[in-house]
Structure formats: structure tokens, C-alpha cells
Amino acid sequence: MGLEIYLDLLSQPCRSVYIFAKKNNIQFDYKKISLFDGEQYSEEFGKISLIRKVPAIKDGDFCLAESVAILTYLAEKFNTPDHWYPADLQKRALVNEYLSWQHSAIRIHGSKILWLKLMIPKAMGMEVPKEKMDLAIENLEDALKVFEEKFLQDRPFIIGDQISLADLVAIVEIIQPVAAGLDVFENRPKLKAWKDRVKEAIGAELFDEAHKSIWSCQEYVETVDPKKFEPFKPKIVKYFL
Ligand SMILES: N[C@@H](CCC(=O)N[C@@H](CS)C(=O)NCC(=O)O)C(=O)O
């Protein structure tokens, strides 16, 4: 049995795994798990991941969740070009440093903005208190400042001259609030120039293909029936409001 990857490309960690596998010609069976249809709660997906989140993989009998674990597993198993996850101890440590930091920084705040700015008010028809939105934006801005000053500095990519897993994970997360209508690249020329380099290194076609569904989420929320989100409401309210 070959490699199966369980994904919903609306999700930023899914996009990093998808782009990485495609860019490195890793053959896999694409298993779509539609989060808004609640497919992560199905009995079948529960056998792949009890965490019930995407991405997840099944490689033969081996199941693995968590995008960072998946990306590093794929890099090692398929011996992808060194720049993605360098063998050099300190370069690899710097990639790991970013991958450890991002979860509670860019990822969480970027994702929050997508929900507070778009999904909760427009798709679910619920009011978002202004102070919640302001705090989420402030937190994201603080995280982007750390990203530029500590992680990027004046280098083309996070750990030097070539793209690594750190840049890939960063870009898919930074796109999330942009797709919700918050242009974080405006007035951040260094960030914008880095984004353009990352897109070029990935390849514009693959980059755009992976981001197609998240770019269309502003249209999606205008047409979706709010009843679709009823089952998720308690969880969303608890988590975001
Ligand atoms: N730390 C995990 C996060 C995975 C995650 O939160 N996935 C979300 C989509 S972005 C999910 O599947 N959510 C489904 C749910 O919570 O019901 C990773 O990096 O893979």
C-alpha cells in the first residue's frame, strides 16, 4: 500500500504538506477530508488519526498526524534536497526553531483572523466583538514583527539563501489572514519580497493551485447556508469568542 495523505486545502498545515509532496514528486493518494462537512469525525478517519485533524498520513501500516512531524518524516524518508531540511546540525536546528515557534504565533493568530473576520460573521452570522478582532490583529502584528526581525532578518529565506521547510510553513500561514481580507504585505516590503521569493521557489503554478480554495473563501461565505455550521458552533464559540 502506498502513501495516503489526508487533506483539506483550506487548512494551512495541509497546504504545506501538499506543496512539499508535490514539489518533491512524492507519489501519494490524495484523500480529501472536507472539514466543513465534518468528515474529520467519521469512523473511517478516526482509524487514521484519533486527533481528528488534518493533515494526516498513512504510509503502509504507519499512521502519522501533525504537519511538522509529517513534513520532516517525508523529507527524511524521500531524501528530499538538503535545503528543505538540512543535514547540517545547526541549520536543521534553525529550521526546527521556526517550526516550534510558529504554532503559537503566526499560525494561531493568522487562523483566528480568518475565523473572526470571515467565517464567524459571514458564514455563521454571528457578531464578533470588536475587542476580539483588535486583539487578534495586534497579536498577529507582534508575531510578524518577530518573524521579520528574528527569523528573516536580511536573508533571502529564513535560514539563508535557499527555501526550507520553515519558509514553506510560514508562507501558507501568512496567506490565511490575507485570504480573509487583511493584507499583511501592505507596508511590509521585506515580507512581500520574501513572499515573492518563496512563491518563485515553490513555482507559481503549484503555489496558486494549493491556495485556490482559500483564495475563494470570501465568495464561499457569501453563498454558504449558515445551517451547515450549526454542529460546529459550540466548539467555535469556545475556541474563538
Ligand atoms: N498542529 C496541527 C494542527 C492541525 C489542525 O489544527 N488542523 C485543523 C485544520 S487547520 C483541523 O483539522 N481541524 C479540524 C477540527 O478541529 O475539527 C498540525 O500542524 O498539523
Is the predicted pLDDT of residue 109 greater than 90, yes or no?
A: yes
- Tally of domains in the chain: 2
Q: pTM, whole model, 2 decimals?
A: 0.97
Spacing, Cα 161 to ligand 1 middle (Å) = 30
Residue nearest to atom 12 of ligand 1 (CA): 53
Single out the residue in 27, 58, 80 at which a domain terminates.
80
| Residue identifier of the C-alpha nearest atom 14 of ligand 1 | 53
Could you tell me if 27 and 104 lie in one domain?
no
Residue keyed to cell 458564514: 123
Query: 230 and 137, same structural domain?
Result: yes
Co-location of 30 and 47 in the same domain = yes
Q: Both 24 and 134 in a single domain?
A: no
Q: What is the mean pLDDT of residues 180-195?
A: 97
Q: Ligand 1 in contact with 53 (CB < 6 A)? A: yes
Ligand 1 pocket, residue 64 CB under 6 Å: no
Question: Tens of pLDDT along 5-29?
Answer: 999 999 999 999 999 999 999 999 9
With cell 467565517, the residue in question is: 119
Q: Which atom of ligand 1 is nearest to the CA of 103?
A: 1
Domain that holds residue 50: 3-80
- In this prediction, residues 73-100 reach a mean pLDDT of 98
For residues 126 and 191, is the Cβ–Cβ distance under 8 A? no
The answer to whether residues 38 and 88 belong to one domain is: no
Whose C-alpha lies nearest to ligand 1, atom 1? 66
If asked whether residues 73 and 88 sit together in one domain, one would say: no
Answer yes or no: is pLDDT of 1 > 90.
Answer: no
- The residue whose CA is least distant from atom 10 of ligand 1 is 11
